Amino acid sequence: MEWILSSWKSIDDPAPGDFTFQVDPHGFPQLFLRKGPEIMYKAGSWNGLRWTGTPRLKPNSVYIYDYVSNEKEVFYTFDIRNRSVPSRVAVTPSDSITPSQSIKDGETLDSAGGTFELAFFSPDNSTRRYLGIRYKVVLDKTVAWVANRENSLTNHSGVFNVTQQGILVLLDGMNRIIWSSNTSRTAKNPVVQLMESGNLVAKDGNDDDQGNFLWQSFDHPTDTLLPGMKLGRNFVTGLDKYLSSWKSSEDPAPGQFSLWIDPHGFPQLVLRNGSALRYRAGSWNGIRFTGTPRLNPNPEFLYRFELNKDEVYYEVDSQSSLMSRLFLNQSGFIQRLVWSTQLKVWIPVYDAPEDQCEIYSFCGAHAACKTNSSSSVCVCLDGFEPKSPEEWRMSNWSKGCVRMTELNCEKGNEFRNYTELKLPDTSNSTFNTSMSLQECSEKCLKDCSCTAYANSNISQEGNDGNATVKKRVGIIVGSVIFIAILLVGLIFYIHKRKLKKQGNFITQSSICEGLVILVC
């Protein structure tokens, strides 16, 4: 008879799992942790006080350790001196593997808290096999990351391991490399660990400094942004971190939609359909992206945006135990989803683009888009008229509007105050963080190419929403600008020639082409 601990098959299935913990009686008995027949951990042999590989398990005031080895039996036991103190030894799945170990199809690598698992899977209506990170605690095992999304396995022969150099490798049944991590650094004691955050990392031994990781899945997102994961660009290494949709629900290969931090000019969050802009969340205003008024700071989420000489990135952290994810679906929509433990479903709390007004350049140049309960409508800005009046009357607004009278740079210019606007496209801009709002205005008046200035940081505004910002912020130099939707919270000053009122102009929003925008 043998006394052995065996793990559960899963948190939902108490059948014997892959891991066993036992005293091996062969030779001088030792305490082993095995995964199947493979030794994962050796506690060593008994030295009269403890197992040689467990220096922290010395006799103490709480526990009594006992080891017996004779002709009839060999066993290890422990007792507690104070029976009121509950204690147990349990075998749980490991969250790490080393070069001597592997994960085969049908096996999993679980995060320490059991939220995520690294496992082989097949998408719905597909027999193809992929290695991915899934939510273990979610009923449908939602996939958050895929390793071999462009090179599937045709059967269940896949094996995942880590080399002596610290490179992650996925092999098929013929020992051919299906996927591998890309790293130029090596480690003396490589370890692959699935963190409780859902980040799969390759590191050297117990070095948990994220800056020292050899490789991490958080640097290579697929269609999901998890809390703690960054979107952006590292200017030093050139690494872009962006989301790309699945090709279809059956194929996790990169699809046609991608979500980026566009680093050009004044950085902004953009959704692309191939190379074409589909939606623009806008630039960061100190609190949120200008086109996302519903994503203000709240007790559940903490939004961060960083721009410096080394990198630009956007990050969302969860401030509670709530499970959430940002997801780019195959149809080109961004969703923030929260898991309901009561309903056992993902609940969408944010979607974009929300309507036609959020589609990039829906109204063309120099026009504003308004949405009511039944439809979207475009209107020319004050001082502008439809470029194609006939098409405009037929609700074809794509050609936008043109100026009624050209600006006169040399004299008679003033600024007009516009509110409830998203800062226009800033991808062709430059910026300088050494100007106050007043200095912005003065500089713009002196520059014939400047036709507008705006506030880039509203985090210190007064309650009236006016640009009473004490912090010195930026200057943005732009070119062609379009607008998609009216949004609350940005003061936008439009530089226009002093003209006599000619009819009734629409003044709710504005956009100009060939301009310089000073953002302060």
pLDDT in tens, 108-136: 999 988 899 999 999 999 999 999 999 99
360 falls within a domain: no
Q: Reply yes or no on whether the pLDDT at 179 is more than 60.
A: yes
The mean pLDDT value for 390-396 works out to 91
Backbone angles phi, psi at 211, to 5 degrees: -70, -15
User: Taking phi first (over 0 means left), then psi (-120 to 50 degrees means alpha), and beta for anything else, what does residue 237 get?
Assistant: alpha
Task: Say whether both 393 and 502 belong to one domain.
Answer: yes
443 falls within a domain: yes
Task: Say whether both 108 and 36 belong to one domain.
Answer: no
Task: Say whether both 65 and 98 belong to one domain.
Answer: no
- Determine the Cα–Cα distance for residues 299 and 3; give it in Å rounded to an integer: 49
How many other CB atoms sit within 10 Å of the CB of residue 474?
A: 22
| β strands within 207-310, DSSP E | 215-216, 224-225, 230-234, 240-241, 243-248, 251-262, 268-273, 276-283, 301-307
The mean pLDDT value for 74-84 works out to 71
Task: Say whether both 309 and 397 belong to one domain.
Answer: no
What pLDDT score was predicted for residue 437?
Answer: 78
Task: Say whether both 493 and 376 belong to one domain.
Answer: yes
**Which of the pair, 485 or 402, is modelled with greater confidence?**
402
CA distance to 36, 67, 308, 325, per residue, from 336 (Å)? 40, 54, 27, 6
Among 354, 375, 404, identify where a domain stops.
354
493 falls within a domain: yes
Task: Say whether both 238 and 209 belong to one domain.
Answer: no
Task: Say whether both 380 and 424 belong to one domain.
Answer: yes
Sign, CA torsion 164/169/175/179: negative
Question: How many distinct structural domains can be found in the chain?
Answer: 4
Among 328, 354, 380, identify where a domain stops.
354
pTM beyond cutoff 0.85: no
What pLDDT score was predicted for residue 295?
Answer: 79
Q: In sequence order, what are the residues at sequence separation of 6 or more whose Cβ sits closer than 8 angstroms to the Cβ of residue 21? A: 4, 5, 6, 31, 32, 33, 34, 89, 91
**What's the domain range around 299?**
232-354
359 falls within a domain: no
